[in-house]
């Protein structure tokens, strides 16, 4: 190449680089604008039938109705929800693989698992808080207790003779029950399951005697008489079961001000384009605002909590700090 040609090339190169950069930016913007143009997968890190599964399928259906894009719900259970969460953390950051995260996978797991394969604050980008779900304390009807005060008295008189189930070590139900045990100074044996549904099934069958888990899985069992609901973990009573008191109303020493609701929200792999995050946030919030969705969530004891990605991210940070002392004091450790 002659000196003149080299000089000309050096003069042109910056313009070529700018043109390429502009093309890439325009292509990315077009892709974001066209989103979604293929099926979206929402990973639920538990077995079907629990609160996260119900919520994922509810908003997924509304997103399909509004965009015409299929939303597939995939249940990947194991290790208190961390197996499914890790799968999403390692997925392509393109907005087509999402996680229905919750207090366990996004807040509690950091304290329970010393070698957690993902970081809730670094491996994901928050999309939207979806719902707050009170836990319901329920027992098999064969257990001779009618209210929380009677349950606590029974547990104190029979330490280690009652078993309770949860969706796994470090799950929200595990944490809530350990919090209850600490507050009431009782000893109940933990039986971890691979999800909420099997723990509730065994409570109904009498294989375990107690569960303290998300309202959607308990309400139908309580209304049919298969389980006896004693109290809810929220500050206020739930609309679907207005006769069931809060734990704070029980009058039991140690339970004044008790609160241990579960919460759920959608996150995407870190690096997902901000335009896609905002589009997903809009789709999810619009789904939660639909009257039929609001009514369905209320009927199951859940409260819709649409938010900005930033607000949901702040919630995750606050909850990590909130639950760490409980995990430490209860000695909760991963299997």
The C-alpha torsion from 304 through 309 and 313 to 319, rounded to 10°, is: 0
Antiparallel, parallel or unpaired: β 97-102 and 262-269:
antiparallel
pLDDT digits (tens, 9 = 90+) for 59-74: 999 999 999 999 999 9
Provide the H-helix boundaries in the chain: 3-34, 51-67, 82-89, 103, 109-112, 148-157, 172-184, 196-205, 215-223, 274-289, 291-299, 309-330
Instruction: Report the chain's mean pLDDT, rounded to a whole number.
Output: 89
Q: What is the pLDDT of residue 334?
A: 73
CA distance 291 to 294: 5
Nearest 5 degrees, angle CA 16-CA 19-CA 21?
110
Which CATH code of 3.30.70.100, 3.10.20.30, 3.30.70.260, 3.40.190.150 fits the domain covering 37-133+263-330?
A: 3.40.190.150
**Where does 135-250 sit in CATH, by number?**
3.40.190.10
**Residue spans of the chain under pLDDT 50:** 22, 24-31
Exposed, middle or buried: residue 15 (CB in 10 Å: 0-12, 13-18, 19+)?
exposed
Q: What is the pLDDT of residue 310?
A: 98
Residue 178's closest CA among 325, 335, 320? 325
Flag whether the pTM goes above 0.95.
Answer: no
pLDDT digits (tens, 9 = 90+) for 208-247: 999 999 898 899 999 999 999 999 999 899 988 999 999 9
CA distance 289 to 305: 10
CB 52 within 8 A of CB 217: no
Q: What is the pLDDT of residue 176?
A: 92
- Residues of the chain within CATH 3.40.190.150 domain(s) are 37-133+263-330
- Residues of the chain within CATH 3.40.190.10 domain(s) are 135-250
Rg (CA), the chain: 24
């Amino acid at each position: 190449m002659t000196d003149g040609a080299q000089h000309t090339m050096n003069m042109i190169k910056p313009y070529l680089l700018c043109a390429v950069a502009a093309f890439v930016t325009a292509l990315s913007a077009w892709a974001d604008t066209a989103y979604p143009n293929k099926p979206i997968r929402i990973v639920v890190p538990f077995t079907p039938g629990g609160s996260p599964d119900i919520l994922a399928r509810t908003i997924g259906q509304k997103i399909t109705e509004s965009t015409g894009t299929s939303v597939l719900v995939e249940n990947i259970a194991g290790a208190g929800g961390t197996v499914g969460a890790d799968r999403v953390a390692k997925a392509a950051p393109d907005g087509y693989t999402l996680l229905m995260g919750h207090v366990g996978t996004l807040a509690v797991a950091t304290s329970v698992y010393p070698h957690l394969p993902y970081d809730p604050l670094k491996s994901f980008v928050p999309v939207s808080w979806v719902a707050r779900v009170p836990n319901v304390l329920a027992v098999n009807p064969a257990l001779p207790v009618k209210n929380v005060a009677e349950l606590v008295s029974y547990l104190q008189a029979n330490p280690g003779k009652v078993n309770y189930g949860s969706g796994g070590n470090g799950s929200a139900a595990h944490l809530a029950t350990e919090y209850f045990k600490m507050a009431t100074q009782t000893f109940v044996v933990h039986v971890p399951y691979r999800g909420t549904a099997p723990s509730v099934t065994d409570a109904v069958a009498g294989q375990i005697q107690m569960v303290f888990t998300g309202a959607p899985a308990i309400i139908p069992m309580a209304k049919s008489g298969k389980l006896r609901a004693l109290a809810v973990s929220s500050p206020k009573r739930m609309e679907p079961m207005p006769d069931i008191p809060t734990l704070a109303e029980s009058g039991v020493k140690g339970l004044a001000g008790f609160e241990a609701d579960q919460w759920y929200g959608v996150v995407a792999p870190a690096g997902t384009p901000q335009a896609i995050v905002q589009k997903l946030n809009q789709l999810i919030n619009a789904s939660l605002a639909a009257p039929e969705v609001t009514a369905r969530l209320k009927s199951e004891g859940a409260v819709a909590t649409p938010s900005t990605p930033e607000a949901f991210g702040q919630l995750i940070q606050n909850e990590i700090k909130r639950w760490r002392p409980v995990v430490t004091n209860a000695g909760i450790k991963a299997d």
